[in-house]
Amino acid sequence: MNRLFLRFFVLVMLAITVASFAVYFAVTRLFGDPLEQVALRQSSGEIFLLEEFVDKAPADDWLHRLNRVREISKSEFELIPLERAIDGMDAEHRIRLMQGGIVINIEQKSLMRRVDLNDSRYAGSSEDVIQVHNLPIAVGVEFRVEALRYLIVALFLLIPIAFWSRAHWRGLQHLSEVANAFGEGKLSIRAKVPEKASIFPLAQCMNDMAGRIEELLEAHRTLLHSVSHELRTPISRLEFGLELLRNAAKNPALDKRIDHLEGDVTELKELVEELLSLTRMEQQKTLDAKPFSLANTLLELTRQLEHEFSERNLSVDLAPGLDRNGNDIIGDQRLVMRAVSNLLRNAAKYSNSQVKLSVEEPAQDMVIIRVEDDGPGVPIAERARIFEAFYRVDSSRDKNTGGLGLGLAIAKKAIHLNGGYLSVGESRLGGAAFTIRLPWSGSTANSASLPEPGRN
Ligand code: ADP
């Protein structure tokens, strides 16, 4: 049952309960207590005997008739003093009794009425009340019938509400799924809601908004891509010009200046290349997916990065179930290598002395790759933002480490394109722990186990 329907259900039930009480009080006020009417109807036999047989007797025969009725009726007729009868009675009933009316008591299944108002039956008869006990009163059935009537009305009200809320609920769920997917980066996704649905205007607004955001992001990417692309030519010219200048100048004093300039140009070139990689990945719609061995890829990568760890200790810990010859990941090997390489380079930059690359035993079609270090770590408040392009935690911390602020953005994009996730947390080594989750297509149960990897 959907939440919308549940709320309506509770609301309708509450409304019906309140309505039945309102009806009961209104009817009681205008026409008298309906339950009393029912009880009077059910006691009509005894009332008939009293009014049509006993009361119609001549004055001197009245008591005699009453005794005869006592003998034949299943109910008990008795005479009690008026004073006792009105003791504890509410005002309305007391007035009725005093005026000679019938007062009925549903719980005690009894009724009372004054014998008469003017001592006409016998001496002091106006001070006596005739009380009839054991009347055949059973308002429970009437009450249940009434309750059943309200329940049936409520159920019939709930049927159209159920249909209505089901359609709404489905529509809202669809909108929330679309919003989630859009938030996760599927910018082309749009809500598909039939035109006659009541949430159609909302879905349309959402689609328009998504369209505008997609256009803006696309324009932003295109601009970044074009600018980076256009910068390549002047940078190459600068490199070439500096080379010519060095040859022409042949001046050791100028050489130092030229070295600095060349350093700046190289940095600029790296920035442009990184930006181009990122924008290309962001525009990439399909993946060049091929099966490859994760263990082999990571071991190859650590070999390539050996020089980065000349002053740090890199330990590699791959789960024994990983197969070096297996094709256990289906994706773009180059992009996975790029992501892990960016994380390892960062770890080398920010660690004090220890870096660890580990892969856990794959479970539930996912494999976890972790890059940890013993550096300063990433503060909790910064963890979501460090994956944004050009975002750097603390410029004073990053001053010495260099870097462009693009490495993590590229790594995250590369992992996303491969259907995985990248997140950051704390490491037991004391610094940051970057975790990659990738879809796993190999099995570990029957695969040959990997020889213990070499440790640096
Ligand atoms: P950068 O080129 O500046 O390293 P990244 O995108 O790779 O750019 O990283 C963004 C920021 O995240 C870095 O500036 C740094 O502050 C922080 N960071 C990245 N890796 C680590 C790490 N292993 N330990 C601590 N901070 C890190």
Residue of 281 and 343 predicted with greater confidence: 343
Residue nearest to atom 25 of ligand 1 (CA): 377
Residue 182, Cβ density class (10 Å: 0-12 exposed, 13-18 middle, ≥19 buried): buried
Residue nearest to atom 19 of ligand 1 (CA): 346
pLDDT on residue 456 = 31
* Amino acid residing at 207: N
pLDDT on residue 454 = 34
* Phi, psi for 345 (deg, rounded to 5): -60, -45
Please tell me what DSSP assigns to residue 1.
Answer: -
How many other CB atoms are there within 10 angstroms of residue 132's CB atom?
23
Average pLDDT over residues 338-365: 93
Distance 215 CA to ligand 1 centre (A): 30
**With contact defined as beta carbons under 8 Å apart, do 93 and 101 qualify?**
no
Partners of 438 in beta bridges: 367
Cα 342 from Cα 356, distance rounded (Å): 14
Q: Which atom of ligand 1 is nearest to the CA of 408?
A: 6
pLDDT band, very low/low/confident/very high, at 450 (cuts 50, 70, 90): very low
Q: Which atom of ligand 1 is nearest to the CA of 409?
A: 6
Distance 414 CA to ligand 1 centre (A): 16
SS3 454: coil
**With contact defined as beta carbons under 8 Å apart, do 410 and 356 qualify?**
no
Q: Which atom of ligand 1 is nearest to the CA of 397?
A: 16
Q: Which residue has the tokens 């200048």?
A: 245
Which helix or strand (DSSP H or E) is residue 316 part of? strand 313-318
Q: Which atom of ligand 1 is nearest to the CA of 403?
A: 2
Distance 377 CA to ligand 1 centre (A): 9
Distance 268 CA to ligand 1 centre (A): 19
CA-wise closest residue to 224 among 183, 278, 262: 278
pLDDT on residue 401 = 60
User: pTM for this one?
Assistant: 0.60
Residue nearest to atom 11 of ligand 1 (CA): 392
pLDDT on residue 46 = 92
Cα 150 from Cα 342, distance rounded (Å): 69
Residue nearest to atom 8 of ligand 1 (CA): 405
Residue nearest to atom 20 of ligand 1 (CA): 346
CA distance readout (Å), 258 to 233, 235, 245, 267: 19, 15, 8, 14
pLDDT band, very low/low/confident/very high, at 435 (cuts 50, 70, 90): very high
Mutate to test the pocket of ligand 1, among 277, 308, 350 (most ligand atoms within 8 A of CB): 350
Q: Which atom of ligand 1 is nearest to the CA of 389?
A: 6
Distance 400 CA to ligand 1 centre (A): 12
Q: Which atom of ligand 1 is nearest to the CA of 406?
A: 6
Alpha carbon 447 to its chain centroid, in Å, reads 40
pLDDT in tens, 133-164: 999 998 888 888 888 988 898 888 888 888 88
Spell out which residues line ligand 1, taking CB within 6 angstroms: 346-347, 350, 373, 375-378, 386, 392-393, 398, 403-409, 431-432
Which helix or strand (DSSP H or E) is residue 151 part of? helix 139-183
CA-wise closest residue to 306 among 94, 454, 85, 405: 454
Cα 166 from Cα 79, distance rounded (Å): 65
SS3 11: helix
Distance 401 CA to ligand 1 centre (A): 9
CA-wise closest residue to 373 among 385, 357, 360, 396: 357
Extract the tokens encoding 382.
């910064």
Q: Which residue has the tokens 């399909």?
A: 286
Q: Which residue has the tokens 């004055």?
A: 59
Mutate to test the pocket of ligand 1, among 408, 415, 434 (most ligand atoms within 8 A of CB): 408
pLDDT on residue 245 = 87
pLDDT in tens, 174-227: 999 999 999 888 889 999 999 988 889 999 999 999 999 999 988 888 888 888
In order, the DSSP letters of 393-409 are: S-HHHHHTT---S-HHH
pLDDT in tens, 372-408: 999 999 999 999 899 988 888 875 455 556 677 889 9
**With contact defined as beta carbons under 8 Å apart, do 311 and 451 qualify?**
no
Residue nearest to atom 16 of ligand 1 (CA): 393
Distance 47 CA to ligand 1 centre (A): 97
**With contact defined as beta carbons under 8 Å apart, do 190 and 210 qualify?**
yes
* Amino acid residing at 90: D
Residue nearest to atom 3 of ligand 1 (CA): 405
What's the mean pLDDT when you consider all of the chain?
Answer: 87
